[in-house]
Amino acid sequence: MALKRGLTGSGSQRSRSGGGGGFCGFPFPLIALIFFAVLAPLIFLTGRGLHSINPDQKDISSGKQTVDWRERNAMQHLKSLFSKEVMDTITANTGDLGPWSLDLARKNPLSSSWKVFGVENAADQQNATLDKMVLDAEKEASQLKKENANLADDHTPFVDTPEKLVRRQLREKRREKRATQLVQQDDEAIVKLENAAIERSKAVDSAVLGKYSIWRRENDNENSDQQVHIMRDQMIMARVYSSIAKMKGKLDLYHELLTRLKESQRALGEASADADLHHSADEKIKSMGQVLTKARGELYDCKLVTKKLRAMLQSADEQVRGLKKQSTFLSQLAAKTIPNGIHCLAMRLTIGYYLLSPEKRKFPKSDNLENPNLYHYAIFSDNVLAASVVVNSTVMNAKEPEKHVFHLVTDKLNFGAMNMWFLLNPPGKATIHVESVDDFKWLNSSYCPVLRQLESAAMKEYYFTAGHPTTLAAGSSNLKYRNPKYLSMLNHLRFYLPEVYPKLDKILFLDDDIVVQKDLTGLWSVDLHGKVNGAVETCGQSFHRFDKYLNFSNPHIARNFDPNACGWAYGMNIFDLKEWKKKDITGIYHKWQSMNEDRVLWKLGTLPPGLITFYRLTHPLNKSWHVLGLGYNPSVDRAEIDNAAVVHYNGNMKPWLEIAMTKYRPYWTKYIKYDHPYLRNCNLSE
């Protein structure tokens, strides 16, 4: 009776349930509460009593009949406890809830909404709580009837069942999930595009030309000062908001942003540090900050700002790429040119040479030129100052300079200047001799494939007519292959050393862009193991191998050479001229050079045909003999440079050019006497 009184208590104890969800308008916590507090114990007790009355029921093998029988008996007892509306709700949802058993309570644990009603499993609070819950259930059932009646009055064709509502909710959830995934995929794609553009922008910084130039010194520590950094950021955002303001028709704000932008540009100027800023920079930063705050309040749209910034990033990336191409073009152009000072030096020396009497034009110790027991060097150059550094650095670091013989070959234009310089500045006790390549009468087009090709119409068209760029950026890619040095036989004379020096056994070939730092006589005692060429290899794990220089899509190249074979460096090479003659190296060179008349095997130059000609005939020297990269690589290890016998300025940034890397120039300039009258008169200085 106490239980019944608790279920039918006075209206003063009634309250609305705050639960959500459930069956037919009843919150699930309500059904669970009723079941757990009242129905489950009653069913359990009823079941036990029925078992005691009907013991044969225990022998039934299937549990389903027992559960159904208990459920029917329990429902009979419940009718006396609940109102008709509650019983209808319980009966309608019996199929959804499953059999009335304690398993239902275990599978559907009570939620935190129990606490809404102050029930914490305390026995002394159950009666009051059940009273509230049942009354709420009755109210919700009556409200549901009214809503259904209203729907019927409105002639609604049908009312969605709970199952349909659940399915609809599931469909909506799936749509929302799919839309979220699509948005996420779009965001990921945008992020990938932005990251790719940023990486491309970073890649452009690998061009070392500007970094070591006097007009780009700030790149070493860009944006290191706070005010400069703030002003640059403000200018970027001002451009973004001005574009948005113009697009949205806010012309007053647009003009105000442009005005502040111009003021900031003038205040910033070329400054790279706070100390370089104009005194009005602080005022300009504050003014720009105010107008940007105003623009943000009126125009800020995250997606639109992102699009504008992305467009600016891509535009800047394209501009940097274009500037990089122009920089490459101009550096190639600068590498071809002769500085005014060196040109002046050559002209003055030439005039002085031809003013000398014939007897004063001869060098002493000419009997050493064919002595195979001395150390002979071959230097082919048209640059007087560069050749002088090679000779001076070799002699100054030689242990026995009187045993060194220098064979200099130049062209007709610089023949007088080269002779005059070394007549005025003899290399100490060493022997020197200067020749002109034009005096080698055996070097003609009938014998030399390169001369024959250079005289052909196709080669002239390649150099002087076809494919010439109309813009700086367009011509940067192939410009290096049109360098005038490829038209000069001085560059190809290295393949004719036995013809030039027929009485010598070994000779050390030196480029004119090297500096000697140690005694080189040890190279003559290196065992080449029957090879012709001794050189330092330049290949790493994946670069400077044969496939970098040769066209392996051509069957002649693919059949005869290994694409992974290691490349080596011209610039300091010890050649065994006896083995050269035995293996007919010049004949091998002629064969491949003739096959490359249409430049299908390799581009122009002497390294690719050198790799082919001396394939498997090159002995690798210790890397300390020859360190390369001072003409293009800013990261050469200083310890390697100091320990090297020869350092090589291979690349475009030659030490006699203005584009030379400042950090490497002292290795070259210390072998030049800038107080020489000829150098002073031509304004040549460090």
Do 290 and 388 reside in the same domain of the chain?
no
**Structure-model confidence comparison of residues 230 and 109, the more confident one:** 230
Q: From 336, 369, 385, give the residue that closes a domain.
A: 336
What does R_g of the chain's alpha carbons equal in angstroms? Answer: 47
| pLDDT band, residue 136 (cuts 50/70/90) | low
Vertex 391: Cα angle to 389 and 395 (nearest 5): 115
Do 321 and 444 reside in the same domain of the chain?
no
Q: How many CB atoms sit inside 10 A of residue 544's CB? A: 17
Mean pLDDT score of the chain, rounded to an integer?
76
| pLDDT band, residue 573 (cuts 50/70/90) | very high
Whether residue 524 lies inside any domain: the answer is yes
Read off the pLDDT of residues 56-100 as tens digits, 9 standing for 90 and up: 444 444 444 555 566 666 666 666 656 666 666 666 555 444 444
Q: Is the pLDDT of residue 6 over 90?
A: no
Handedness of CA 409, 412, 414, 416 (dihedral sign): positive
Whether residue 649 lies inside any domain: the answer is yes
Do 275 and 344 reside in the same domain of the chain?
no
Whether residue 213 lies inside any domain: the answer is no
Whether residue 495 contacts residue 587, with contact meaning beta carbons closer than 8 Å, is answered with no
Do 304 and 349 reside in the same domain of the chain?
no
| pLDDT band, residue 602 (cuts 50/70/90) | confident
Whether residue 99 lies inside any domain: the answer is no
Do 499 and 636 reside in the same domain of the chain?
yes
Whether residue 261 lies inside any domain: the answer is yes
pLDDT of residue 486: 61
Helix/strand/coil for 683: coil
Do 324 and 398 reside in the same domain of the chain?
no
| pLDDT band, residue 424 (cuts 50/70/90) | very high
Instruction: Select from 397, 391, 470 the least CA-distant residue to 425.
Output: 391
Whether residue 532 contacts residue 580, with contact meaning beta carbons closer than 8 Å, is answered with yes
Do 295 and 357 reside in the same domain of the chain?
no
Do 401 and 431 reside in the same domain of the chain?
yes
Whether residue 407 lies inside any domain: the answer is yes
Q: From 336, 369, 394, give the residue that closes a domain.
A: 336
Whether residue 635 contacts residue 577, with contact meaning beta carbons closer than 8 Å, is answered with no
Q: Reading across the β-sheet that carries 646-648, which strands appear in turn?
A: 514-516, 646-648, 626-627
Whether residue 618 contacts residue 532, with contact meaning beta carbons closer than 8 Å, is answered with yes
Q: Is the pLDDT of residue 222 over 50?
A: no
Distance between CA atoms of 214 and 217, rounded to whole angstroms?
A: 6
Helices (H) and strands (E) in the chain, counts: 29, 10
| pLDDT band, residue 677 (cuts 50/70/90) | very high
CA distances from 186 to 172, 199, 614 (A): 21, 20, 56
Read off the pLDDT of residues 508-536 as tens digits, 9 standing for 90 and up: 999 999 999 999 999 999 999 999 999 99
Q: Amino acid letter at 595?
A: M
Do 300 and 352 reside in the same domain of the chain?
no
Do 394 and 265 reside in the same domain of the chain?
no
Report the CATH number that the domain containing residue 456 is assigned in CATH: 3.90.550.10
- The domain total for the chain is 2
Show Cβ contacts of residue 226 under 8 Å, excluding neighbours closer than 6 positions.
274
CA distances from 308 to 250, 380, 654 (A): 17, 57, 43
Do 526 and 377 reside in the same domain of the chain?
yes
Whether residue 143 lies inside any domain: the answer is no
Q: From 288, 320, 336, give the residue that closes a domain.
A: 336
**Structure-model confidence comparison of residues 175 and 393, the more confident one:** 393
Distance between CA atoms of 658 and 365, rounded to whole angstroms?
A: 38
Q: Reading across the β-sheet that carries 533-535, which strands appear in turn?
A: 431-436, 404-410, 375-380, 506-510, 572-576, 533-535, 618-620
Domain residues for the domain of 506 are 340-466+476-681
Helix axes 415-424, 384-396, angle to 10 degrees: 40
Whether residue 420 lies inside any domain: the answer is yes
B/e letters for 167-192, b = 16+ CB within 10 Å, e = fewer, are: eeeeeeeeeeeeeeeeeeeeeeeeee
Read off the pLDDT of residues 110-119 as tens digits, 9 standing for 90 and up: 443 333 334 3
Token pair 């078992």: residue: 51
Do 438 and 406 reside in the same domain of the chain?
yes
Whether residue 37 contacts residue 123, with contact meaning beta carbons closer than 8 Å, is answered with no
